[in-house]
Structure 1
C-alpha cells in the first residue's frame, strides 16, 4: 500500500564528480487523485492512503558555490506508537542537498502555528531554496510578488522539511480518526512526533543531527514536541523558536492582565515612525532602555492601576508619550494599553499591523479591511504562489486545493495542557533540556512584532534560569522577521553559526 521506496534514494546513486558538472536526474511528477478534506469531521479512508511523492532536482548557487538538491513533495503516514494504527497522512515538502553523508548532515523540521496554519509562510518566505519577495514592510513590489532563488537559503547548512499540520496544506486524519482528533495541544504535538519519526526512519536519518523550527503557535508545539521526542528516544540537537508564545497565561491578550511586556514593542514601532523624543540613535540600546523603564516605572504603575484604579502621574504620562509617540491623553484613557487600541490610534486615520507594526494602511482601504494590514499584505500573494509552485516547480499535481489556513481548527482547539486551561509549555521545554542537557535552544524575535512581543518571550524564558545552551536573538522586523531583507541576511549568518556551534 505504501510506495515510499525508490523516490527517496535517487539523489544518492550518481557517481562522485564535480558538483557543477553533474547532470541532474530527470524529475518524477506525481498526480495525486485523492480529494483531501479539511473539515473537523473529515478523515481519509485507509484504502486511499499512500506515501507517494513527486521528486524534482534543482541547483542553486549560494556565495559562489553550486549546490545540487532534491525536492520531495508528498505524504507520509503518522502512526500511533502504542497501537500501530495509522493516525494521519501528513503532507510535507523536503529539500535535501545531494551527496551529503546522512549521519553528519542536519535535518530541520519547519512548521508554522495558528493553530490551523499550514507551513506556507516559513516555506515560501524564510530559508527554503526559493522565496517570495515581499518588499516588507514598504512593499514596493507589484503583485504577484517575484519568486526567486533564495540567497539566504539554509540548504547549504541543513536539509529542510516543511510540515503541514493535520487539516492544513494537504494533511488529513485517517479514518476512524477525524481532523478534530488532532486539534489540541497534546494530540497535535503527538502526531507531529509520529510524523517526524516516520520521516527519519523512511529516509535513513536516524543518525542525523535533528532540529525543530517552529513559528508562533509552532513554538509551544515545539516545546511539547521536543519533550515527546526525547521521551521516545529521538535525540534532538537543537530547536529554534521563532516569534514565540510559550505561556499563554503570561500574555495579556489571553489573560486580561498587564500589557507591560508589550511596551518595548510599542516603543520600537514609535521609533520606526520617528515619533519618539529624542530620536534613538541605536535600536538595541533603546530597547534595553525600554525594558528598564517597564520594570522601574510602567509595570508598577499598571499593577497599582489594576489593583485600585490609581491614575498615573502627569510625569509618567509624559514619559510614555516621549518613548512611544502615543499621545498623553490617550495613554491616560487607556493606561494598560492593549495592542489593538495602540494600533488603531498611533497614526491618525490609519491602522498599523499586528504581526508587523511597521506596516501601515489608511482606514477604509482594502489593506486595512481585515484588521491587520501586515497579514493582508501577504496572504493572497502567498496563497497564489503556493497554488502555482506545487504543480509547476515541484511537479506535484493534485485535485485538492492546498489549504493555507484552517479557521475551523482554532475555533474548536483543545487548549488545555498539563492541568491548565491554557498551555504553559516552559515546563515541557525544561523537561526536554533535562533529558538532553546539550539541547541547543535559539529564540528568534522581531522588535516590531505586536502579536507575540519579544519582551514577553524573554520573561517566559527567564523562568528556565541560567542554562548553557539557550540563546536569544533580536532583529528589526515583525513576527516574520525573515520577510525583512536586511534582517534575513543577518538571521542566515546567525543560524549558520548556531548550526555549527558545539553541543
Structure 2
C-alpha cells in the first residue's frame, strides 16, 4: 500500500460529544490499493475524510466522515456508476455495509458470519468496485461525523435528528460531494440498509426536486416500512413466513415441512398467511371457534410454536415471545432478532423475551476492532476521536414519514429510476415478507412493477455476512446496475404500447 496524499483544508475544528478531541472539518487522506474481483486485479484509491454540511446561510454546521473508493485508470467517469451507501439505525455508522458487503475489504469472519480471532479485514473478491465507485457516508453523530459546536455555539438538534431533517441535510451534502468530485455526469445509485432504506427512499425525491439530481437506481437492503401502512391484522399475518423460515432453520417443523427446501416451503406459507390467516384475524373475536382452532393448528405446523401458545395469544404471537419460545424446550436457547440463526443464553428459561440480542453482540464483536484498525492503519486516517458504531441521535422525529410515496413519485417522474429490494429470510426485525409487502404496495398502479425487483437470501438482516450470500447479493447488485444503465442514445421517456 502506498500513501499518496494527506491534505487538511478546513479552518474549523470538530469536537466529539464525549471527548475533548478535535478534528479538522474539511479533511482528506488518499491512499492507493488493489484488489482481485472476479479474478481480475482492480487498482483503486481510497479517500477518507470529513466534508462540511452547510446551512441555508452557507455556514458549516456539521461535518460528515466518509470513505470514497474510486477505481484507478478511468479517464472518463460519465459512464462510470457512483454508488452512495448509507446504513441505518437511525444512529448507525456506515461500517456494516462498508466492511462486510460492497467494499473492497471485508471482515475476517467464518463462512456463516460468526467472529473469529485474530480480528481484522481481508480482500473482498465480490465487491462491486469493479463496475462502480462507492462512497460510504456517516450521518451526524455516527462514525467520526459530528456537529460543529464551539464555545457557546450550539446547533439545533431538530435540524439533523428526524426523518425529514435527515433527508434534507444529507441531500445537500451529496450535492456538494458530487460537485467536488466531478460526478454530475455519472449514473448514480443510492443503497441503504434498514433505516437507511427510509433515508434513501426520501433522498430519491429530495435530490430530484430540490437539487435536480436524477438517479438511476435505489437499492433497499432489509427495508423498513418506509411509511407504508401495515398495522393490525396485516402486520400479524405477515409474521408467519418469517416464523416458518426461522423454525425451518432450527429443525423445529414437522417432517412434512422440514423436508422441503425453503424455496418450496415459503411460497406455501405466504399463500396461507394471505388467504387464510389474514381473513381469520380480520374477524378478530368473531372468528368462529372451529376456524380459529383450525388456523392455530396449521400455524403451529408452520411456525414451530404450539397450538396452545398460539391460541393463548389469539393467533398473534409477538416477535419477542417467538425468539424466546422457539427453542425453550431445546436447550433453552433464545434466537436472534436481526438474524435468528444466532443463539443466546438467558439467565432463566422462563419469560416472554430474550435478555439481549445475540446476533448484535456477535457482530459488534468483530466489526468494532476491524473498523478501528482499518481506518487508522490501512487508510491512514489518524484521530483520537471515538468512532461511533451507534451514536447519540435520539430523540428522533419520525413524523411525516412518506418516504415510500416519495420513492414512488421519484420513479414516476424519472423513467430511468429502478428499485432493487434485498432481504434475508431469517431476519426478524425487518422481515423478508414485509419487504415483499413493501414491493407490492410501493406502486399500487402496477405500471412500474417491471422496475421493482426482490431478492431473498438464506441469512438475516445483514445477509452478506454469510459467505455464499456475500457473493450472491453483490452479484445481484452488479446485475441490477448493468441491466439498469441506459443504452447509448436511449431516451428517458414513457411510450404508449
Give the TM-score normalised by structure 1.
0.86
- Pick one of 327, 339, 344 that aligns with 2:319: 339
Tell whether the 8 Å contact from 2:320 to 2:354 is kept in structure 1 after alignment: no
Q: What residue in structure 2 maps to residue 72 of structure 1?
A: 47
Q: 1:59: how far off?
A: 0.8
What RMSD, in angstroms, separates the aligned Cα atoms of the two structures? 2.7
1:377 aligned onto 2:362: yes
Q: 1:304: how far off?
A: 2.3
| Secondary structure, counterpart of 2:246 in structure 1 | helix
Q: What residue in structure 1 maps to residue 492 of structure 2?
A: none
Tell whether the 8 Å contact from 2:280 to 2:287 is kept in structure 1 after alignment: no
Give the TM-score normalised by structure 2.
0.87
Tell whether the 8 Å contact from 1:38 to 1:179 is kept in structure 2 after alignment: no
Q: What residue in structure 1 maps to residue 382 of structure 2?
A: 397
Distance 1:426 1:249 in 2: 6
The aligned length equals 463
Distance 1:64 1:458 in 2: 34
Distance change >3 Å, CA 29–CA 482, structure 1 → 2: same
Distance 1:307 1:73 in 2: 60
Q: What residue in structure 1 maps to residue 260 of structure 2?
A: 281
Q: What residue in structure 2 maps to residue 172 of structure 1?
A: 146
Tell whether the 8 Å contact from 1:152 to 1:488 is kept in structure 2 after alignment: yes
Q: What residue in structure 2 maps to residue 19 of structure 1?
A: none
Distance 1:360 1:203 in 2: 45
Q: What residue in structure 2 maps to residue 413 of structure 1?
A: 396
Q: 1:143: how far off?
A: 3.3
Which residues of structure 1 form unaligned runs of 5+? 1-23, 418-422
Q: Deviations over 1:398-455 (max 9, x none)?
A: 121111102x32x3101111xxxxx242211111112212201101111111101121
- Pick one of 333, 350, 362 that aligns with 2:345: 362
| Secondary structure, counterpart of 2:83 in structure 1 | strand
1:58 aligned onto 2:33: yes
Q: 1:67: how far off?
A: 0.8
Which residues of structure 2 form unaligned runs of 5+? 487-497
Q: What residue in structure 1 maps to residue 490 of structure 2?
A: none
Tell whether the 8 Å contact from 2:233 to 2:281 is kept in structure 1 after alignment: no
Q: What residue in structure 2 maps to residue 481 of structure 1?
A: 463
Distance 1:372 1:356 in 2: 9
Distance 2:415 2:286 in 1: 41
Q: What residue in structure 2 maps to residue 214 of structure 1?
A: 192
- Pick one of 47, 67, 78 that aligns with 1:103: 78
Distance change >3 Å, CA 58–CA 370, structure 1 → 2: farther
Distance 2:364 2:285 in 1: 37
Q: 1:58: how far off?
A: 0.4
Q: What residue in structure 2 maps to residue 302 of structure 1?
A: 281
Q: Deviations over 1:303-353 (max 9, x none)?
A: 223678978633222211211211222112222112111000000111101
Moved over 4 A (4+): 29-35, 42-45, 306-312
Q: Deviations over 1:85-104 (max 9, x none)?
A: 33321110111100112111
Q: What residue in structure 2 maps to residue 427 of structure 1?
A: 405
Q: What residue in structure 2 maps to residue 160 of structure 1?
A: 134
